[in-house]
Amino acid sequence: MERLLGEQAGSDGPFRGGAAPARQGSATRTGDDTVIAARGLTKRYRGGQLAVDGLDLAVPRGSVFGFLGPNGSGKTTTIRMLMGLIAPTSGSVRVLGRPMPRAVREVLPEVGALIEGPALYGFLSGRDNLVRFDSADPTADPRTRSARVAAALDRVGLAPAGRKKARAYSLGMKQRLGLASALLRPRRLLVLDEPTNGLDPQGMREIRALVRELASDGTTVFLSSHLLDEIEQVCTHAAVMARGRLLAQGPVAELSAEARGRLSVTTPDTTVAVRVLGEHGVAAIAVAGDRVTGELTPSGVADLADLNAALVRAHVRVRGFGAERASLEDAFVALTGEGFDVAG
């Protein structure tokens, strides 16, 4: 079901607003530093299906927070609970310091959200869709509506297509229009579910740049995506879910640092190289021709210069030596056991 959270909660139509415990990084905060705080958040549907299981989540103020997980991991269900669209079975949620869903009417005017794709009126132009969205906000000044709509269209690159019927928009254009509706007014929090879905590479770059711009202006951005490269490029913090449970959260750099990097040594002396690397904490060593590879761990491997020196002392003829730092994709695969190209 497509739904766009607008400015007035409760209005009709598209304006309605077994795993191990999670490793907690510095994203675990309380009080004024936290924009979204969930404690023990659980959702069990009729029939016993457990979609979200005991989630503890903390989104720091001013962050760009990436929300990652394979298909069926519970990301969208979590977002819907955070925004007050569905009630949790147990646990609590506070958004902008107020309890949800009890304070939904007070919270949503300060939140821009695009969840499960934009819900648009196909017979209206892009501009008229935004006029309709804006008019649903009882606090919006109608005297400045045209200016707000024009600015929102321009900000997402849709000004030239503003008078075109929404039914003729491509998927990427619809995504842009949905994002524009969330930007009609300044927001303290922006919640985006797969915002680059359907966009070409240039469009994806533009949306990423817009997210960075919004964050620099002080807006906290909560971004759900299955594109790990996207999260790594634009997000300051991230959380990883699988099978309804939170596996890890924290600054992106810290999550990546906990994963294993890769070492590659090119040498004709592979047997000796394997022994030396193993003695110095390199794991999962493999040999292919004259190339020896292995996994690096932050705690198990000494300084790379010392490792290279140890190879030389053992009379290993090193013709190539390189290390790749662990990426967020490496951390994701290590946590979930799944590849990075996941949906949901």
**Tens-digit pLDDT profile for the chain (344 aa)?**
333 443 333 332 322 223 334 444 433 344 568 999 999 999 999 888 899 999 999 999 999 999 988 777 888 899 999 999 899 999 999 999 999 989 988 898 899 888 776 788 899 999 999 999 999 888 888 999 999 999 999 988 899 999 999 999 988 888 889 889 988 888 899 999 888 877 788 878 888 888 888 888 889 999 988 777 777 788 899 898 888 888 888 888 777 665 556 788 999 999 999 999 988 888 788 899 999 988 776 555 557 788 889 999 999 999 998 876 655 565 566 555 555 444 33
Residue at which a domain ends, from 192, 222, 250? 250
Q: Are residues 40 and 155 in the same domain?
A: yes
Reduced to 3 states, what is the DSSP secondary structure of residue 9?
coil
Q: Are residues 151 and 273 in the same domain?
A: no
Residue 342 falls within a domain, yes or no?
no
CB neighbour list of residue 173: distance below 8 Å, 6 or more residues apart: 126, 158, 161
Residue at which a domain ends, from 218, 250, 282? 250
The alpha carbon of 283 is separated from its chain's Cα centroid by a whole number of angstroms, namely 30
Q: Are residues 189 and 270 in the same domain?
A: no
Full domain range(s) for residue 148: 3-250
Nearest CA to 149 out of 130, 162, 176 is that of: 130
Q: Are residues 153 and 277 in the same domain?
A: no
DSSP code for 178: H
Q: Are residues 301 and 160 in the same domain?
A: no
**Residue 111: its H or E element:** strand 111-115
50-60, strands of its sheet edge to edge: 50-60, 34-44, 90-95, 98-100
Residue 34 falls within a domain, yes or no?
yes
Residue where the block lists tokens 């990652």:
68
CA gyration radius for the chain? 24
Instruction: Tell me the CATH number at 188.
Output: 3.40.50.300
Mode of pairing for the β-strands spanning 291-296 and 261-266: antiparallel
